[in-house]
Chains A and B, each alone.
Chain A
Amino acid sequence: MEELLLSRWQFGITTVYHFLFVPLTIGLSLIIAILETIYVRTGNEMYKQQTKFWGKLFLINFAMGVVTGIVQEFHFGMNWSEYSRFMGDIFGAPLALEALTAFYLESIFLGLWIFGWDRIPKVLHAASIWIVALATNLSAFWILVANSFMQNPVGYALRNGRAEMTDFIALITNPYVFYQFPHTVLSGLVTAGFFVLAISAYHLIRKTHVDFFRASFKLGLVWTTISLFLLMGSGHAQTQFIAKAQPMKLAAAEALWETANPAPFAVAALIDEENKTNSFEIKIPAMLSLMANNDPNTPIRGINDIEKEYIAKYGPGNYVPAVTPVFWSFRIMVAAGSAMMLIVLAAGFLWWRGQLEAKPCVLKAVLWSLPLPYIANSTGWFVTEGGRQPWIVVGLQRVEEAVSPSVGAGSIWISLIGFTVVYALLAIAAIYLVQKFVRQGPVDTPVTPTKPAAKGATLWS
């Protein structure tokens, strides 16, 4: 069915595109809030420059995140109307709550932050970027509550031909949220940390604005190292949880066709989806059992067994996700994360030895690794969403049942092409602006003690 395929492409493109900008804003808003707080507490003008420099880059990404987010909200109704009917009772609530608790705060206080320099007291100004940062993270929470229901439905009953909410507390305390939310937020912190590191490295290599970027590199290094460790820990915990909650997703991510005890970890595999086997694989014995259950002598169920169980439970059908892309996405995500860890540790080591700037090869490695967090974020989401197929809501609704029956392929083609072209043009504009401001570096803010302070400022500063 052409409409289904097109709608899936559209969802994939708009979601991945949206999520190119969101992780950076999740992390960078917090970094900026910290920088501005340091400025307010110490009065050090350099930190005001830091706030403004990173703030400018943040705003470009934030704008892109906001406008692509509007599409996200609307296309559930546009392309997936039967999903909206079936799930609206549950899914609409977190979306409405996201708007009520997060979007208003974000957008209103961001406006205050952008236009409020010298107009409101310093403490209030710093508070507004904290509010933006917390609201951004709160918004991620609500979206992940909604997404977690699709992965692991809780607190509902099937009534009146749809899923109805029976327990709101269960919805927001869905165990899935408590693995997915930290992992997603931490990936945002890492993305922002790497962004700061890479741009600082750029200037340290060229020896421009050295003091300024030394300070941000240091902050970025501590920030990224800590969040990367936590990110990997949360990823491990999430995988262990998925082994229990979504065994099919784990089996697909590992291309494990037959149940095995102990199960090996396949480092690489040539996957033959047609014959449901791997024609070649490099494996580490018992490693998967150890990773999933903390015990090398435990069984892991394979795709073929789980499929049999699903057929018995849900009737005849194909319940196997596209194994090859899920398998490789998972490996690319892990490899990107590991590469980031190596680079950050190498940079940290040289920093500690005081040799970082003398050995630009590591700084160059940092600079050229900027795509890594983006690759990891996109492939990570692909594992999450691709590994859930053929379900849109696991066990309740299949993707092909969710698509809008009243929307023809022609309409979807128009919107698919339209969005993609506009997204591409906007990406070019955004990249142009980001590289322009990165090259330019911090702009010296003239110290103007002659300018009378805004009314009320003396109360606070």
Chain B
Amino acid sequence: MTPPISPEPAEQAVPARQRGFRLSRLSLKALRYHIGGLRSAGVRFALGYAVLFWVSAGLFLSVIWWGTASLLQRQVEASVAADARALSERWSDGGLSALALTIEDRLEDNVDDDALYLLVGPHGERIAGNLPSWPEPVAMSNVWYQLTIKRAGIRGVAEVQSFDLPKNYRLLVGRDVRGRSTLRHLLTDTLFWAWGIITVLTFIGAFFVRSMFRRMISSIARTTSAIAHGDMDRRVPLSGRGDEIDEVAEAINEMLDRIKRLMDGVKQVSNAIAHDLRTPITRARAQLEYAALHARDENSLRSAIEEGVSDLDNITAVFEALLRIAQIEAGSRRSAFASFDLMPVLSDIVELYEPLADDQGSRIMLRAPEHLQFYGDRSMIQQAVSNLIDNAIKFSPHNGTITVAVATGFNPVPADRAGGRIVTLEVSDQGPGMTAADMERASERFFRADAARNTPGSGLGLSLVQAIVHLHGGILQFQSRSPGLCVRMYLPLPEDDGKKQGTDMTEDSHTYHPQDRPDLLVSQS
């Protein structure tokens, strides 16, 4: 019933529409453009929908057709069988005359005029019934025959079965199925028309599916292409329904935000490089040039060269720090991640810086558990902590105390890594602190708060700390103390050793009070 379906019908249908709209400018290329060709996902999607819908409608209609046709057939067979049974009972009850009489009665009662009976004797003579003679093809009993019969001048199709009676009498029972085949034709026609309408509906549906698909995709495509052409502020509009398309759009927007942040970072860095590296380079250059032109003796030449070299060394250091930050921020540097005990690392750094703090008239206190297994890059953690301590020493007043405190706890930011154990590592000083606006920008590259302008440094230390903390999946926070500044790193801890470390400290570090912990390891010089 259903012919094999190929994509051609759908493809041809749309050209037909096109042809109607603008006959004059019809060209194959324009056509392909408007259909999009099979390469277009929208067209493929629509075609898939159309084929599926078309085939399933065809199958559905066929099932209805076959169901109805075979039901009619079975009805005929059942009524003929019932008739024959009743008539053979009549024969055994009342003999030949009763049977003939019953047949005549039946024919008289038959309003539809579709019943066929014929009772013949041993020699083929007609005894009763509405057929003129025994039809020739009917030779065997209990087999269905389909015949063309002529009754009252009208040709019709009949289904008959013959039954053998005793004494070589034969009975033929059948039904004229002319009405049934009319019904069948009617049904076929109806279903065929229905199928035609479905085909049209299929094309319309496919067209809608395709344009819907195109609408969904095109907003994303438009946005991304605008971004690709440099309009970084464009975002994919959300429908607000929260469906899959919105999810995709949100993911894309998030990605675009991140790209924008990175681009801004690059821009800011290149500006900063232009400004902050040019200055020392200019200084070194001027010094060397001046020495080359004006130096009177070897000593002044030598000292000018030495100063130039030390300027160049500073520039190299800034370059190295920048490269390192960029590399860490790119997030590829995880090869050196390993599990290690954080505490000896920290006490080593404190020990390294103690004399320096002592020289500045301040002291360093380390408040920490004895052991804390951590997973990360040891050398980077060392560098981050030493940058912080270095800063703290720089800004610590005379007789000030720098506190390095470590505590384990649970994540204070529930949305992120919910319930994960973290270590809080904070370095606080009693220096001038930072204003809220400065804290916002503290981890930007080359940013230097006004208070820090006159201290040595490049403004890259906290950027590096920030990059290292991010690489470890943590958060860097600045908090103003009065007096002083507290820089806090929240770093996630490995999950497995949570139980054995859990008893060391139960609270987040900002809740401690300096005097109430007997187990402090106070290092003081």
A binds B: no
